[in-house]
Amino acid sequence: MSDLLAARSLMAMSLGFHIIFAMVSMAMPLLMILAEWRWLKTGQDAYLIIAKRWAKGTAIFFAVGAVTGTVLSFQLGLLWPTFMAWAGPIIGLAFSIEGFAFFTESIFLGIYLYGWRKVSPRAHLAAGGVVALSGVVSGLVVVMANGWMNTPRGFTIVDGMPSNIDPIAALLNPSGLLQAPHMILAAFAATGFAVAGIHAFLLLRHPDNPFHQYAFKIALSVGCVSAILQPLSGDLLAKRVAELQPLKLAVFEGQVQTQQGAPFRMGGIWNSEREVFDYVLEIPYALSLMLHLDPYGEVKGFKDFPKENWPPIGIVRTAFQIMVLIGFLMMFLALWAAWLTFGTRDIFQSKTFLRAMVAATPLGFIATEIGWVATEVGRQPWVVVGYVKTAEAVTPMPGLTVPLIFFGALYTFLALIVTWLMFRHVAATPDQFEMIVSAQAS
Amino acid sequence: MIELETALAIVLLVALTFYALMGGADFGAGVWHLLAHGSSRRDQHRLIGEALGPIWEANHVWLILIVTILFTAFPTAYAQISVTLHIPLTLLVIGIVLRGSAYAFRHYDIQDDEIHVRWDQLFALSSLISPVLLGIIMGTITAGNFSLSPDSFYEGYVLYWVQPFPLAVGILALVLFAYLAAVYLILETSDVQLQEIFRKRAIAAAVFSGLLGEIVFFLGKSGAPYLWGGLTNNIWGGLIILGTVGFTLAAVWFLSTRQYWWARTCAILQVTLTIWAWGVAQFPYLIPPYLTIYNTSSPEFTLQLILFVLLLGALLLFPALIYLFRIFKSRSVFGQHQ
């Protein structure tokens, strides 16, 4: 394996691993404070137990997210020193802002986890609110920094080096501004669905346990609202990609040749010899209509761009398609949930729905991972689109397969342990009697 | 008005000081976890676990802040450090990952069983290794003199950190962190037996850190000539050396007479003085002799912005930190009875 490929694989692995933990620690605090707020309002102990259980699980995800985030802050330099020397002055500021958001998140999570009996109920709930808010701010600035790699702004090139640097313009780059809400919604949708899925599974076994009923409702409502908003956010983002990164969009949508009245294509396998997609299902005019609100609007094909700047077509296209498919599946499930709640008013009676939710448990995370594959592999061969190629940014350090294997083993180990801990966590279902006792004890 | 570069270098030193005093002490507590023995072993472990609980995550963020300031304000220095010190930096982050994860697995697990002993061991072991690596990295940067065009893998990526000076700084960092942890832990408990245990350990660590400080200083004569020059060519250098020794001796005295508040103050001052002495002697180098805070710095507007963000962030951070410590450390830090 070449060192460049090893560096890219290691970066992808670190990001792919960290992102799960970042998403859960971004979304869970909202679920926690919703449960705690319900407890303060209704006085029902089950809500308190939910908040406490979720807080403990979140603490594990937050800790692993924090340390793997530390890995990333070092690996940016360890793997891409040239990129960092180039980009640090322009986009580094985002990470300093993120540092402070991370500070408040850590401080108030400490208060939330350990302060149940040390601060007033209101202060405790507020601490949870600060955790939730700073988690979102962290995600926001980090994704905006990533957006800058796609649509770099805030500098001009003089003698091959960036000059006239404006970090604010860089941070407020057009791609980042729409990528950030897309990612935040993804975190809430994925986490909401995953938590709802776990409680749906337990509800099928213990249908009358209020602990699971309440937990399911809270997680489901957060997940559903986000899942319904997510396709809208995706649509806005796709329009911006079409405008600013037409090559990337053409690969996403399988648009080989420039065309007026482009169809929306589903499925398809990239045939690199003949340079066409085989087995494609087309909806006439739909892509032009989606992007330009005009059935005859022009969509650029990627063959209009030099081939050396194409990303790997098959991977990017497939990843994008699966992401969109999952997005629609989740939106459909969310609408089904809304119909059950507001139509029949008894969501727990539908075993089919609960089973569908169990099946949907990992969907949001799969969609997010694969969405990042689409956007990051879709950015290749560039690290800063149009300015720096990934191959130019890599460290001169040889033998990068060694850290790749090392970190691969480390992440596998951590993933296994966290999964096992979550099984223990979930397996310890409280019954109603235990709930009363432990609520009194706390 | 001081220059932007100097202001940011001062901010870096402040952040490094906080990281050593807070995050460093958390590593030191892990070292005492490893060394705990005797009939009160379980109580020592519990004391350490509880002392870290609400604050260790926040204490860790200082390191992230340092890294982000470095790559925003002095990006080429960050790039050079990342290349030459690739191996120890990688080992350091692995240590940090294992330490934090093991602590979380141990303390946020819903059930309580035998495997917790394993997590404790992993926590303690990685707490021992990480500070040494951190010290080695700091020592290597201090020594500098990296070859501009290394001839071999060994010269490019290994040579500079397997020298006596960085290794001695590694041990010094470990001992200083353990020393801080021991004096903090005395004030974290009201159990006299535990206080006595950590009092003895604090005295041992204080003496050891004082001796190591001198060893590092003299190794610096050949190992880190710029540091040596910065400390010996003026009166301040001498005063600083005397100061650190003075604080060590004072701490030992206060520990012997069980005046723990004063002992802790002396320990904090010793570590702070050591870091600032290093910073002042090193000025204006980031990696001597080629990279300084001036020739590696970002453009002025970036520096102004990051300084503004840091000031704004500090206004947010310090009240929050004080709130956190008031809730959980009101007795040990603010001297109030809960």
- Residues 6+ away with beta carbon under 8 Å from B10: B2
| Tokens representing residue A286 in the block | 């739909």
* Per-residue CA distances from B309 to A131, A416, B69, B71, B115 (Å): 20, 39, 11, 15, 44
| Tokens representing residue A247 in the block | 């090559």
Nearest by CB to residue A106, choosing from B58, B93, B309, is B58
pLDDT score recorded for residue A429: 66
| Interface predicted TM-score (ipTM) over 0.90 | yes
The amino acid sitting at B148 is L
Record: contact A62-B157, CB cut-off 8 A = no
| Interval A237-254 mean pLDDT | 92
Burial of B98 (0-12, 13-18, 19+ CB in 10 A): buried
Find out whether A394 and A81 touch, Cβ atoms under 8 Å: no
CA A298 to CA A95: how far, in whole Å? 38
Burial of B10 (0-12, 13-18, 19+ CB in 10 A): middle
Nearest by CB to residue B316, choosing from A78, A100, A166, is A100
pLDDT score recorded for residue A89: 92
Chain B residues lying within 8 Å of A99, measured CB to CB: 61, 64-65, 68, 313
| Distance from the first to the final alpha carbon of chain B | 44
Record: contact A88-B72, CB cut-off 8 A = yes
Residues A301-310: pLDDT tens digits? 999 999 999 9
Find out whether B24 and B173 touch, Cβ atoms under 8 Å: yes
The amino acid sitting at A371 is G
The amino acid sitting at B312 is L
Interchain CB contact of B320 with A (< 8 Å): yes
Q: Which of A92, A90, A65, A66 is nearest to A77 (CA)?
A: A92
Radius of gyration of chain A (CA): 23
CA A130 to CA A108: how far, in whole Å? 7
Find out whether B289 and B226 touch, Cβ atoms under 8 Å: yes
Residues A321-330: pLDDT tens digits? 999 999 999 9
Residues B127-181: pLDDT tens digits? 999 999 999 999 999 998 888 888 888 888 988 899 999 999 999 999 999 999 9
Phi, psi at residue A281, to the nearest 5°?
Answer: -105, 125
| Interval A39-51 mean pLDDT | 92
Nearest by CB to residue B302, choosing from A86, A167, A395, is A167
What average pLDDT does the structure give for chain A?
Answer: 91
pLDDT score recorded for residue B338: 40
pLDDT score recorded for residue A434: 60
Q: pLDDT at residue A385 above 70?
A: yes
Chain A residues lying within 8 Å of B94, measured CB to CB: 406-407, 410
Tell how many helices (H) and how many strands (E) occur in chain B. 14, 2
Q: In percent, how much of chain A has pLDDT > 90?
A: 79
Residues A265-295: pLDDT tens digits? 998 888 888 888 888 899 999 999 989 989 9
Q: In chain B, where are the structural domains located?
A: 4-313
Residues B92-111: pLDDT tens digits? 999 999 999 999 999 888 87
CATH 3.10.450.50 fits B4-313, yes or no: no
| Interval A363-377 mean pLDDT | 95
CA A335 to CA A305: how far, in whole Å? 40
Find out whether A63 and A96 touch, Cβ atoms under 8 Å: no
CA A50 to CA A57: how far, in whole Å? 11
Return residues 237-296 of B near A (CB < 8 Å): none
Chain A residues lying within 8 Å of B103, measured CB to CB: 63
Q: What stretch of H or E contains A325?
A: helix A313-339
CA A197 to CA A220: how far, in whole Å? 9
Q: pLDDT at residue A129 above 70?
A: yes
Record: contact A103-B65, CB cut-off 8 A = yes
Interchain CB contact of B54 with A (< 8 Å): yes
